Structure 1
């Protein structure tokens, strides 16, 4: 295994663990939402690094779905928080 892959997996692994910790601890729903977006971005970065290193595009549909889930999830959480705070629009 290439040393670059080991470094990439180690860095993203530590970042994912820290992000999961932020999702579990919170303290607010917005902190958890931002951490979830960061985790989705980290997954996309790992898939992108795999595509670049192995010279393929098989992961592209998964990346597109992950991006869509992130955007729609953020919108849903923002609307939920806005309604909960009494800012109905």
Structure 2
């Protein structure tokens, strides 16, 4: 059973690394917003895996809080973001 936990940890770590690359290299703010949402989802999966591994259900409250905060943050950023300038000068 330990092999399953190691494989899960490696996959979560790889997903976080790929998402961090997209977060840092994203050409637009919406790409970065999607990367932040994905990184939060990967973190939630990691916490869920930890809860299953350690048989500790107290971290599920943290999962709920993280889900609510990330949803509200994503909606507010998508609503109030400033559009990217397309002429090559970058945002002002």
Query: 2:34 aligns to what?
Result: 34
**What SS is found at the alignment partner of 2:57?**
coil
Count of residue pairs the alignment pairs up:
83
Stretches of 4+ moved more than 6 A in 1? none
Of the structure 1 ranges 68-77 and 52-61, higher mean CA displacement relative to structure 2 is found in: 52-61
What is the root-mean-square deviation of aligned Cα atoms in Å?
A: 1.5
Alpha-carbon distance in 1 for matches of 2:69, 2:76: 10
Deviation at 1:54, TM superposition (A): 2.6
Deviation at 1:17, TM superposition (A): 0.4
Query: 2:65 aligns to what?
Result: 65
What TM-score do the two structures reach when normalised by structure 2? Answer: 0.81
**What SS is found at the alignment partner of 1:71?**
helix
What residue ranges of structure 1 are gaps of 5+ in the alignment?
Answer: none
What TM-score do the two structures reach when normalised by structure 1? Answer: 0.84
Deviation at 1:55, TM superposition (A): 2.1
CA deviation vs aligned residue, 1:19-41 (integer Å, no higher than 9, x gap): 01111111111111111111111
Instruction: Summarize the alignment of residues 1-89 of structure 1 with structure 2, pairs less than 5 Å apart.
Output: 2-81=2-81, 84-85=82-83
